[in-house]
Amino acid sequence: MKMNKILAGAVASIVMFGGGMFAVQSVFAPTAMAQSSAKAVVDNAIASGIVGETASGYLALISGSASPEIVNAMNEINIGRKSLYTRLAREQNVTVEVVAALTGEKQITKTAPGTKYMNSRGAWVTK
């Protein structure tokens, strides 16, 4: 337990005092690489019309089925989003759903023309 506190303090100090992204990437490189791999898979699935953003702030399958690689990548990203939404909700003293919905709106505005997204009524729409 004491070692975890020391490690967390060291990482925070490095980030605050100059090591910045290098230190964060070095300590969390396996996680970052896995997420970037999942992002690439999901980005391709979005471009192919298999996955889309939703107004609820998460990714979803458009067609109802996809390869295990796509489903796993989408789930990995959604788990990461849920974790981030939870942290932000605690910091802002609001519900996770509020943070997720606000982020969903932002994600939808960033979607490329021709891609699909699920609106707040649950209908898939092409941008």
Residues in the chain: 127
Across the chain, mean pLDDT equals 79
Nearest to 120 by CA among 73, 26, 54, 22: 54
pTM: 0.71
pLDDT at 38 over 80: yes
Type of residue at 35: Q
Collapse the DSSP code of 18 into the 3-class scheme (helix H, G, I; strand E, B; otherwise coil) and give the result. Answer: coil
Domain-wise residue ranges, the chain:
29-126
**For 21, how many CA atoms within 13 A lie in the half-sphere containing its CB?**
1
pLDDT tens sequence across 42-61 = 999 999 999 999 999 999 99
Collapse the DSSP code of 124 into the 3-class scheme (helix H, G, I; strand E, B; otherwise coil) and give the result. Answer: strand
**For 111, how many CA atoms within 13 A lie in the half-sphere containing its CB?**
29
DSSP 50: S
Q: Using 50, 70 and 90 to split pLDDT, how confident is the model at 64? A: confident
CA quadruple 102, 105, 110, 112: dihedral positive or negative?
positive
pLDDT at 10 over 50: no
